[in-house]
Amino acid sequence: MNIAFNVSDLLGILPVLIVIAFAALCALAEVFAKPGQSRGFVGTLGLIGALIAFAANAWQWHGLDGAYSVPLFGGGLVMDAFSTYFNFLFLAGTALTLVLSTKYLKEHGSDLGEFHALVLFAAAGMMLMAQSRDLIILFIALELMSVSIYVLVAFVRKSRRGAEAALKYFLIGAFASAILLYGIALLYGATNSVELTTIRRALDADPSLANGLLVRLGMVLVLVGIGFKVALAPFHLWTPDVYDGAPSPVTGFMASCVKAAGFAVLIRVFTVTFGYDAMEFGAGGNGWVGVLYLLAIVTMFAGNLAALPQSNVKRILAYSSIAHAGYLLVGVVAGSFGNLTIDTEAAATLGPNGAILFYLMVYAFSTFLVFSALSLFGKDGEEHTHLSDLAGMGFRRPFVGLALAVGMLSLAGMPPLGGFFGKFYLFREAMLSGRPEVTILVLVAIVNSMIGLYYYLRVLVFLYMKEPTREVPVYSSRGATTVGLISLALVFLLGLFPGGLLTMAQRGIGSLRPVVTTPTASLTATEPQTPPAASRQAGSRAPRLELKAPPAQLKLATPINLKATTTH
Amino acid sequence: MEAFFFYLFASLAVATALAVVFPPMRGARAPIHSAIALVACFFCVAATYAMLQAHLLAVLQVLVYAGAIMVLFIFVIMLLNLQTDETARTEVGFVKVLSGLLVLATTAGVIGFLRNDDVLLPISKQLVAQVAHPETYGSIEEIGKLMLSEYLFAFELTSILLLASIVGAVVIAKRDPRSTFMPEALKQQLYRERHGKSASGRKGGA
Amino acid sequence: MLVLIALTLLKVVGIVLAFVMLVATIMTWADRKQSALIQDRIGPNRASIGSVRAAGLIHILADALKTLFKEDFTPRDANQGLFRIAPFLAFVPALLAFAVIPVGDTYCPDGAFIVQNFRDVCTAGAQADYFRVSNMGAGLLCIFAIVSLGVYGASIGGWASNNKFALIGGVRVTAQMVSYEVTMGLTLVGLLMIYGTVDLNEMVRAQGTLLWGFVPMWGIVTQPVAFFLFFTAAIAETKRPPFDIPEAESELAAGYFVEYSSMRFALFTLSEYVASVLVAMMVTTLFLGGWQVPYLYGDGLHNPMTGDLALSIPYLLVKVIQIGAFCFKVLALCWLQLQVRWTLPRFRYDQLMKLGWKVILPLSLINVLVTGLWLLVAA
Phi, psi of C171 (to 5 degrees): -65, -45
pLDDT of residue A393: 84
Pair (A191, A321) in one structural domain = no
Specify whether the CB–CB gap between C137 and B144 falls below 8 A: no
Chain C positions with Cβ closer than 8 Å to B: 79, 82, 136-138, 141-142, 144-149, 151-152, 155-156, 158-159, 167, 170-171, 174-175, 177-178, 181, 198
Q: Specify the 3-state DSSP secondary structure of C225.
A: helix
- Cα of first residue to Cα of last residue in chain A, in angstroms, is 35
- Mark whether A and C touch (3+ CB pairs within 8 Å): no
- Residue numbers of B between 136 and 155 with CB closer than 8 Å to A: 145, 148-154
| Residue B122 confidence (pLDDT) | 53
Residue C205's pLDDT is: 87
Question: What is the overall mean pLDDT for chain A?
Answer: 81
Q: Given CB atoms, is B180 within the 8 Å cutoff of chain A? A: no
Measure CA of the first residue to CA of the last residue in chain C; give whole Å: 45
Name the burial class of residue B135, with classes exposed (0-12), middle (13-18) and buried (19+) by CB atoms within 10 angstroms of its CB: exposed
Is the pLDDT at A328 greater than 90? The verdict is: yes
Q: Which pLDDT does position C77 carry in this prediction?
A: 79
Which residues have CB under 8 Å from A550's CB, separation 6+?
A528, A529, A530, A556, A559, A560
CA distance C202 to chain B (A): 14
Residues of chain B contacting C, Cβ within 8 Å: 29, 32, 36, 39, 55-56, 59-60, 62-63, 66-68, 71-72, 74-75, 78-79, 139-140
Quick one: angle between helices A398-412 and A418-432, nearest 10? 10
The reply to whether the predicted model has a pTM over 0.90 is no
pLDDT mean values, one per 10 residues, chain B (206 residues): 84 91 72 87 90 84 88 84 58 79 78 58 53 65 84 91 92 64 58 56 42
pLDDT digits (tens, 9 = 90+) for A79-93: 888 899 999 999 999
Q: For residue range C269-312, list pLDDT tens digits in order.
A: 888 888 899 999 999 999 998 888 888 887 888 877 777 777 88
Based on the structure, what is the number of domains in chain A?
A: 3
Q: Which helix (H) or strand (E) holds A145?
A: helix A135-153
Residues, chain C: 379
Confidence of residue A525 (pLDDT cuts 50, 70, 90): very low
Task: Say whether C174 and B74 touch across the interface (CB within 8 A).
Answer: yes
Instruction: Kindly state whether residues A298 and A316 are assigned to the same domain.
Output: yes
Please indicate if any CB of chain A lies within 8 Å of the CB of B103: no
pLDDT at C363: 93
Q: What is the pLDDT of residue A258?
A: 93
> Chains near A, with 3+ CB pairs < 8 A?
B
Highest mean pLDDT among A61-70, A272-281, A485-494, C84-93: A485-494
Residue ending a domain, choose from A274, A308, A342? A274
Distance from CA of B68 to the nearest CA of C (A): 7
pLDDT digits (tens, 9 = 90+) for A155-194: 888 888 888 999 999 999 999 999 999 999 988 888 888 8
Query: How many Cα atoms occupy the beta-carbon half-sphere of A462 within 13 Å?
Result: 18
pLDDT at A211: 67
| pLDDT value for A11 | 83
The answer to whether chain B touches chain C by having 3 or more C-beta pairs less than 8 angstroms apart is yes
Distance between CA atoms of residues A66 and A68, nearest Å: 6
Reply yes or no on whether the pLDDT at A543 is more than 60: no
**A69 shares a domain with A143:** yes
Task: Classify residue A257: in a domain, yes or no.
Answer: no
The b/e string for A412-439 (b: 16+ C-beta within 10 A; e otherwise) is bbbeebbbbbbbbbbbebbbbbebebbe
pLDDT at A1: 39
Residues A243 and A316 in one domain: no
Count H helices, E strands: chain A? Answer: 23, 7
Q: Kindly report the number of other CB atoms within 10 A of residue A184's CB atom.
A: 19
Q: Which residues of C touch B60 (CB under 8 A)?
A: 141, 145
B176 secondary structure, DSSP code: P
Backbone angles phi, psi at C123, to 5 degrees: -110, -20
The answer, yes or no, to whether residue A435 has pLDDT greater than 50, is: yes
Nearest-CA distance from B158 to chain A in Å?
Answer: 7
Predicted local distance difference test score (pLDDT) of residue A443? 93
Shortest CB distance from A148 goes to which of B164, B201, B202?
B164
**What is the pLDDT, as a whole number, of residue B194?**
58
- Reported ipTM: the value is 0.84
Q: Does B186 touch chain A (CB under 8 A)?
A: no
CB A251 within 8 A of CB A367: no
CA distances from residue C21 to C7, C247, C271, C309, C324 in whole angstroms, order as listed: 19, 23, 10, 38, 17
Across the interface, do B154 and A23 touch by the CB < 8 Å criterion?
A: no
For chains A and B, CB pairs below 8 A equal 105
Interface test with B, best of C96, C140, C141, C192 (most B CBs within 10 A): C141
Q: What is the pLDDT of residue B176?
A: 57
Phi-psi region of A285 (alpha: psi -120 to 50; beta: other; left: phi over 0): left
For range A531-559, the mean pLDDT: 36
Nearest C-alpha neighbor of A472 from the set A398, A402, A384, A400: A384
List the subunits that have 3+ CB pairs under 8 angstroms with C.
Answer: B
pLDDT digits (tens, 9 = 90+) for A334-361: 877 754 444 444 455 778 888 899 999 9
pLDDT score of A152 more than 90: yes
- Whole-angstrom Cα distance, residue C46 to residue C27? 18
- Sign of the CA dihedral with C30 first, then C32, C34, and C36 last: negative
Residue, of A517 and B134, whose pLDDT is higher: B134
Whether residues A156 and A302 fall in one domain? no
Q: How far is CA C325 from CA C17, C74, C120, C281, in A?
A: 19, 44, 17, 12
Residues A402 and A442 in one domain: yes
**Contact list, B67 vs chain C (CB under 8 Å):** 144-145, 147-149, 151, 181
Would you kindly state where each structural domain of chain C is located, as residue ranges? 2-31+75-378
Structural domain boundaries enclosing A211: 1-248+265-274
- Among residues A240, A274, A308, the one where a domain terminates is A274
Write out chain B residues lying below 8 Å of C159, CB-based. Answer: 32, 74, 78
Q: Which residue of A has its CA nearest to B161?
A: A144
C-alpha to C-alpha distance for C86 and A361, rounded to whole angstroms: 59
Percent of chain A surpassing pLDDT 70: 83
- Determine the pLDDT at residue A269: 87
Does some domain include residue A430? yes
Q: Which residues of chain C have pLDDT under 50?
A: none
Same domain, A145 and A287: no
